[in-house]
């Protein structure tokens, strides 16, 4: 889906104006904002250097921002001279002809850090295409609270090597930032112009973030206050830069380790939520599903939401979702997502695309669900072998037959980014001998939009299974997947098979 486009003359003023493309107010989710900020940095680096350093300056430029399922894609075009040394520079992350002072002075290294992939084509002008996925990167976030400008700048530069850093110059500014953001660590000067940091901790009692006090007080008062508030540590001024960075890394690691242990204790006995482990006979269709969970995962879920019966016919709704687990445990995300889906009133059901739109709007309306990142596919069984499908950023399923497998392409964006997923629903009429294979990307880690990136053994088992009864087919695919990915895979995987009854 095209989100925004801007074109103009090949000038630095145009580059500055084009950066507005990445400030789309519709995307309020933290992961979306982070991805857009990183893409904006990459765009600014590439476009600025196209204007400043091309031997033949560009006269026209064009930038487009697209949303494709669970990722953003940027296309930037200019008609200047080509970057002849790109392949070598990109391979070595060398700066080459890139401006060593642009956007922090890191050239192509910054572009590489800010994108998932980049393609450059100079056959018809210069075309740069680069992407960033949502919910997959998540560097730690640190808030620095320091009222001295020079010291604050030093802390930011130092800690930016290990995390994304925000900064506040006062307690009032820090309160406002904390109200809208979550952090993995707070590094604060103890005494500030408008009070001491202990006041902040008293007024935000539910703050579940480690804190490092930095103080020039040698009386022990800051240390005593810090211990009373349960902070991570107190550092005496003058601070040694490497020690501060080491303490910050230690605090983040300790806090995340505690969180992981708590989550494992809470969810260790919870199995993935998968309906239809035994073949399920619906009106006009049979379904079976299988899955496996990563040791710290459990974000996949396959739900049977029940049946809507109307005078004009019935609609049985099944949903396969894959929660990324970024920002909160995947199993908790899965439970929250399942709750929102189950809460949709059955008598008001419409098509699967409307289900995704309702889910997306609900996610935006509930702050507690704001950090859920999930791909979702909705399958409505509406007749004998007749399915209505819509995807919210989920890999397109495969249509299986005796002569092979082919993608059944679906388009739509992740729920929770905008009030509408812009999913394009499709109807599938399964013929005798055909099956629909729906799965999460844990089975196809080398793929994104489709499921064609599966390991060879799984793909072979999938084709062999077409001649087997439904339950035996699921067992064959499951055995191949467990052999390929192990008993505790790196990522959760879940699949479902549909055939006409």
Mean per-residue pLDDT over the chain, rounded:
82
Q: What is the pLDDT of residue 1?
A: 60
Provide the edge-to-edge strand list for the sheet that holds 280-282: 280-282, 285-292, 493-500, 435-439, 398-401, 404-407
Sign of the Cα torsion 247, 250, 254, 255 reads positive
Nearest to 84 by CA among 56, 62, 114, 43: 56
What is the average pLDDT across 404-413?
A: 91
Q: In what order do the strands lie in the sheet with 273-274?
A: 273-274, 300-310, 313-323, 374-383, 386-392, 426-429
Is-contact 302 275, C-beta < 8 A? yes
State mean pLDDT over 342-347. Answer: 88
Q: Is the pLDDT score of 127 beyond 60?
A: yes
pLDDT over 90, % of the chain: 32
**What pLDDT is recorded for position 370?**
60
Residue 409 has pLDDT above 90, yes or no: yes
pLDDT of residue 461: 94
pLDDT by residue (tens digit) across 442-481?
888 766 667 777 889 999 999 999 999 999 999 999 999 9
CATH 3.60.40.10 domain position(s) in the chain: 273-500
Please determine, for residue 255, whether its predicted confidence score (pLDDT) is greater than 70: yes
Just give the CATH number of 141-267: 3.40.50.2300
Residue 98 has what pLDDT?
Answer: 40
Higher pLDDT, 85 or 382: 382
DSSP structure class, residue 412: -
Give yes or no for residue 90 having a pLDDT over 80: no
Whether residue 265 is predicted with pLDDT greater than 70 in this model: the reply is no
Which of 428, 367, 426 shows the shortest CA–CA distance to 28?
367
**Region(s) of the chain under CATH 3.40.50.2300:** 141-267
By C-alpha distance, which of 167, 151, 140, 158 is closest to 241? 158
CATH topology assigned to domain 273-500: Phosphatase 2c; domain 1 (3.60.40)
Task: Please give the average per-residue pLDDT across 393-401, as a whole number.
Answer: 92
3-state secondary structure of 277: coil
Q: Of 174-178, 245-249, 326-330, which range is least confident?
A: 326-330
What residue spans in the chain does CATH classification 3.30.565.10 cover?
2-133
pLDDT tier for residue 276 given thresholds of 50, 70 and 90 = low
What distance in Å separates the CA atoms of residue 292 and residue 271, rounded to the nearest whole number? 9
Most confident of 84-93, 132-141, 312-321, 473-482: 473-482
pLDDT band at 296 (very low <50, low <70, confident <90, very high): low
Give the pLDDT band (50/70/90) at residue 278: low
Residue range 2-133 forms a domain whose CATH class is: alpha beta
| Assessment of whether the complete model's pTM goes beyond 0.95 | no
- 353 pLDDT tier (thresholds 50, 70, 90): very high
């Amino acid at each position: 889906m095209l989100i925004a486009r801007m074109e103009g003359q090949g000038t630095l003023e145009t580059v500055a104006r084009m950066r507005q493309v990445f400030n789309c107010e519709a995307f309020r989710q933290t992961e979306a904002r982070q991805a857009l900020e990183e893409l904006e940095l990459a765009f600014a680096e590439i476009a600025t250097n196209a204007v400043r350093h091309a031997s033949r300056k560009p006269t026209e430029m064009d930038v487009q921002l697209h949303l494709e399922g669970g990722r953003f894609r940027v296309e930037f075009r200019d008609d200047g001279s080509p970057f002849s040394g790109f392949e070598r520079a990109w391979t070595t992350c060398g700066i080459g002809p890139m401006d060593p002072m642009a956007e922090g002075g890191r050239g192509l290294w910054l572009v590489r850090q800010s994108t998932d992939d980049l393609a450059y084509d100079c056959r018809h002008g210069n075309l740069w295409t680069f992407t960033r996925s949502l919910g997959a990167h998540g560097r730690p976030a640190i808030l620095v609270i320091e009222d001295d400008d020079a010291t604050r700048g030093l802390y930011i530069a130092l800690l930016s090597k290990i995390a994304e850093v925000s900064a506040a110059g006062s307690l009032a500014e820090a309160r406002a930032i904390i109200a809208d953001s979550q952090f993995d660590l707070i590094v604060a000067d103890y005494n500030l112009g408008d009070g001491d940091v202990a006041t902040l901790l008293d007024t935000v009692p539910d703050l579940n973030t480690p804190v490092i006090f930095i103080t020039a007080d040698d009386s022990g008062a800051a240390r005593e206050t810090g211990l009373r508030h349960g902070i991570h540590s107190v550092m005496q001024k003058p601070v040694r830069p490497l020690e501060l960075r080491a303490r910050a890394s230690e605090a983040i690691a300790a806090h995340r380790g505690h969180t992981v242990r708590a989550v494992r204790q809470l969810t260790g006995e919870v199995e993935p939520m998968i309906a239809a482990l035994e073949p399920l006979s619906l009106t006009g269709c049979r379904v079976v599903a299988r899955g496996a969970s990563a040791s710290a995962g459990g974000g996949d879920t396959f739900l049977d939401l029940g049946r809507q019966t109307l005078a004009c016919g019935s609609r049985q709704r099944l949903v396969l979702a894959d929660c990324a687990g970024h920002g909160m445990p995947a199993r908790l995300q899965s439970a929250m997502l399942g709750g929102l889906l189950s809460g949709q009133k059955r008598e008001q059901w419409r098509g699967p695309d409307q289900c995704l739109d309702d889910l997306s709007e609900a996610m935006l309306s509930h702050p507690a669900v704001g950090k859920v990142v999930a791909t979702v596919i909705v399958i409505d069984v509406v007749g004998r072998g007749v399915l209505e499908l819509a995807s919210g950023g989920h890999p397109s399923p495969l249509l299986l037959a005796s002569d092979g497998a082919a993608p059944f392409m679906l388009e739509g964006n992740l729920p929770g980014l905008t009030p509408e997923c812009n999913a394009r629903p499709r109807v599938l009429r399964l013929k005798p001998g055909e099956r629909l294979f729906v799965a999460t990307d844990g089975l196809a880690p080398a793929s994104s939009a489709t499921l064609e990136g599966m390991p060879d053994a799984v793909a072979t088992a999938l084709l062999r299974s077409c001649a087997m009864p439904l339950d035996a087919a699921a067992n064959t695919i499951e055995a191949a997947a467990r052999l390929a990915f192990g008993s505790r895979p790196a990522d959760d995987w879940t699949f479902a098979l549909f055939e006409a009854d």
